[in-house]
Amino acid sequence: MPLTEPHDDNLPQEESVAAVRHPGEDAPTAGAGTVPEQEPEPESEPRLSEPGPEPELVRSESGPEPGPESEPEPTLPEPVRQRIVALTAAVLPVLPGDEVPVPLRRVAKFAPNRRARLGAPMIAAQLTADPLFRQRITARVLADSGDLGAAVVAGTAPAAADPVEVAALAYLARPRGWRELIDASGAAVRAEADKAVVDELVREAEQRATRAEHDRAVARVEADKLRDELARVRDELGQLREENRQLARTLREAQARERRAAELLATERGRATRAATEADAELRRARARLAEAEAAAGVARASAKEARSVDDAKLWLLLETIGQAAVGLRRELALDPVDRLPADFVADAFADQPNATPAGAATRARDTDDPARLDQLLALPKAHLVVDGYNVTKRGFGEMSLEQQRKRLITGLGGIAAQTGDEVTVVFDGAERMHGLPPSPRGVRVLFSRKGETADELIRRLVRAEPPGRPVVVVSSDREVADGVRRHGAYPLGADSLLRRLARS
């Protein structure tokens, strides 16, 4: 490609050559992004078109290649063009100010890293249009290149030299055969580019081969998995087929049973129809008898109404007679009100009579463990609640100490006694009365079994001491206690019923 390239008008204004200002340089008076007008050359400065001594410095022994000056510039490879611009940009600050063309004087003040990048179009255009400037640049560049520059001026290129560097020096020095050197450099650059492309293609091919091998390995693994899955699916299919055969057999059997059931249903429907007919006939007969019975009942109700008036009078007279007889009996026996109950006497001393069973005890015994039964029994008049203390506490809050168990149970029983007004007795095992017990709540009696006696025996003595007819409720989950008190007419209940009652309170 030619060394010069068109200037890009679309570059940002801050990166254009005209807008770049070296530190210490006066700001341009023109608007931002515009190139100030070039100052005319001083009359004392030699013109660029006049020959000077510099061309003699770069002229080789064989002389420059003959040819018309109007011969077009060769097409340069891009690396060669960039190298020429870089060499020129590096030499610009070294040249005297009067030797630098006016368009490049501002570029010469740029920073090194921006000089070749931003001033490339102007440098390339100046090298093409100003042979004198190119000769001055060539003199500086050849002086810095040493033996390589001398070889290029002689028209030869060392085999080990960089073709880009050789082409750039040949373009600047332009010895005999410089176009051939540039063409050879371009061919070498293109060969390197082609080699790089080929190497890249080889690497891509190797990567594709590696990926293909990996994909084949993955495909083999996936194929193995699919084969295993296919085998599993075949096994499942075999099982499903077997299940299908069994279901088909079951369906056939069910259909046969359904046919038999339909036949039986038809038979039963016939029987039901006959039975319904007979029932209708019997219903008609019953209705006739009912009408006769209602007529007879009307007559009987009329007679009963008259007889009931007589019975009510007799019953009132009987109850009045019993009430007066009870008052007379209490007066005749001189029974004064008592302040002690049978359980109090048992607590002091009671002759144990294991074979004595109060009359009528069996009539009041009930066999139930229903928790709701406790509230019903405590609602009876003059009920007596007897509690097996440790049997209840160890079942409900056995994690506490014995003292805490007794205190919690006695406190809860005090609440029940206050709510119902019933007599409450709690019995604990113990050879003698425990010390440190809190005062018993009102209505709660606390007893401890004597030495040689258990709480179960004391509970049975309390039950036997009660008169027949009084409701006595014994709370204990001990089967022996429940069976023993039931024989004497008491109502045994489990410990859970009392625990739920206490929790509800």
Give the per-residue SS3 of 299-349.
Answer: HHHHHHHHHHHHHHHHHHHHHHHHHHHHHHHHHHHCCCCCCCCHHHHHHHC
pLDDT one-digit tens code per residue, 430-448:
855 566 666 788 889 999 9
366: confidence class by pLDDT, cuts 50, 70, 90? very low
- What's the pLDDT at 246? 94
Closest CA to 172 of 142, 148, 199: 142
- If pLDDT is split at 50, 70 and 90, which confidence band does 15 have? very low
Is residue 500 pLDDT above 70, yes or no? yes
Q: What is the pLDDT of residues 109-141, one digit of tens each?
A: 888 778 777 878 888 888 888 888 888 888 888
Return the C-alpha torsion angle 224, 230, 236, 239, nearest 10: -110
pLDDT at 144: 80
C-alpha distances (whole Å) from 201 to each of 194, 196, 204, 205, 211 are: 10, 8, 5, 6, 15
Average pLDDT over residues 91-98: 82
Angle between helix 178-333 and 78-91 (nearest 10): 100
Q: 193-218, pLDDT tens digit by residue?
A: 778 888 888 889 999 999 999 999 99
The amino acid present at 266, given as its one-letter code, is: A
Asked whether the predicted pLDDT for residue 229 surpasses 90, the reply is yes
Q: Which domains are delineated in the chain?
A: 78-176 (no CATH), 342-349+366-504 (3.40.50)
In tens, the pLDDT along 279-332 reads 999 999 999 999 999 999 888 888 888 777 767 776 776 777 777 777 777 666
* Amino acid 6: pLDDT: 41
Which residue reads 């010069």 in tokens?
Answer: 4
* Gap between the Cα atoms of 53 and 189, Å rounded: 35
- Pick from 441, 449, 404: nearest CA to 424: 441
Identity at 167, one-letter amino acid code: A
Judge whether 416 and 385 are in contact, CB under 8 Å.
yes
Residue 425: in which H helix or E strand, if any? strand 423-428
pLDDT at 193: 76
Residue 478: how many other CB atoms lie within 10 Å: 17
Cβ(348)–Cβ(463) below 8 Å: no
Going by pLDDT thresholds of 50, 70 and 90, the confidence category of residue 344 is low
Residue 134 has a pLDDT of 82
Give the Å distances, CA to CA, from 40 to 10, 26, 103, 493, 501: 28, 18, 11, 131, 121
pLDDT band at 60; cut points 50, 70, 90: very low
pLDDT at 369: 57
Coil, strand or helix at 474 = strand
pLDDT above 70 covers a percentage of the chain that reads: 76
Q: How far apart are the first and last CA of the chain?
A: 109
The torsion angles phi and psi of 255, rounded to 5 degrees, stand at -65, -40
Model confidence at 92, pLDDT cuts 50, 70, 90, reads: confident
| Residue pair 119/91 in contact by the 8 Å Cβ criterion | no
